[in-house]
Amino acid sequence: MLTIVLVSFHSEDLINNFLKRINNKFPVIIIENSLNYKLKKIIKKKYKNTKIIIPQKNIGIPKALNLGIKKSKTKYIFITSPDVIIYANTIKKLLKLANKNKNFSLLAPSYKNEKKYTNYQIFSKKVKKNKVIEVDWIDNNFILNKTEFTKKVFDENIFMYYETHDLCKRISRFQKKMYVSKDLKFIHLNSSSTNNKFSFLNKINRNWHYNFSKFYYFKKHYGRLFALKKIFPNIIRSLKSIIKYRIYNDKINYELSKAELLGVIYSVFEMSPSFRPFELIKFKKMNYLKNYE
């Protein structure tokens, strides 16, 4: 059997659409990081096979996924996100492939809009008999073989972004297998998990945590000097943007650029990725945010 685990943050409509497509065919565990108890009540009434866990605070994606994996009772866990379109029948076929191949860490369908995401799944030339291809990296939407992991699956020092990069890097280091089915497809809606009314705060969040996680990932796997080299263009770009938007009094882009630089600073000086723009009252008081709420 298989359990579906996903993390939600102000993703009410997408969650409902996702569960309609699954239609109670599999147990689902949702970690709701926006503390939306109303959504929990609605889902509990409509979908008997779905469990929503609400932490006391927003714990980020890796920690939430680890919690969902821990709570699941099946060997196989299907890790996905609200902005993915996939159907129960596709997951059933993917589960059949998992049972045939068995010795793997991750097994994924491929992007239906594959040309747009050519860098997301790197295909090797090695094709197995059971219609799967061995790959170097899987970005999103995969079956995880729980028995292949003795410790926590995702690195909880990351709040969001690069968590799957890190997972795949560790899998490769231990020479374990990752497979993709070219026949089974899904669609990724691309960065649309959070409700549009939070678009500005979402962009602030993205800029801060993407840069934090980028430096952290490269430092962890390649060393501090290599990480500084990789993050240097981000530093220069954000500094230029801060000066430019300050001069032109463009407060929106100024805040976005500042978030980008602060994410780097926090990571370089090994501080906690504690930035939570959705929880900061000061953002709600900014007059120029009225068009974004």
- The confidence score (pLDDT) of residue 124 equals 58
Neighbours of 63 (CB within 10 A): 22
Look at residue 101 in the predicted model and tell me its pLDDT: 85
The confidence score (pLDDT) of residue 129 equals 60
Predicted local distance difference test score (pLDDT) of residue 288: 44
Q: What is the mean pLDDT of residues 216-226?
A: 98
Tell me the whole-structure pTM to 2 decimals: 0.89
Tell me what pLDDT residue 7 has. Answer: 95
Cβ contact 221:167 at 8 Å: no
pLDDT score of 6 more than 90: yes
Average pLDDT over residues 60-87: 95
Rounded distance, CA 111 to CA 181, Å? 10
Q: Which two tokens stand for residue 142?
A: 């995969």
pLDDT at 69 over 80: yes
Least confident of 55-59, 124-128, 158-162, 204-208: 124-128
Residue 282 has pLDDT above 50, yes or no: no
Rounded to an integer, what distance in angstroms lies between the CA atom of residue 227 and that of residue 230?
Answer: 5
What is the DSSP-derived secondary structure letter of residue 59? -
Least confident of 31-40, 59-68, 257-266: 31-40
Q: How many whole angstroms separate alpha carbon 142 and alpha carbon 121?
A: 12
The average pLDDT across 127-132 equals 69
Q: What percent of the chain has pLDDT over 90?
A: 61
- Band the pLDDT of 4: cuts 50, 70, 90: very high
pLDDT value of residue 115: 56
* Residue 169 CA to its chain's centroid (Å): 16
The CB density around residue 233, as the number of other CB atoms within 10 Å, is 9
pLDDT of residue 290: 46
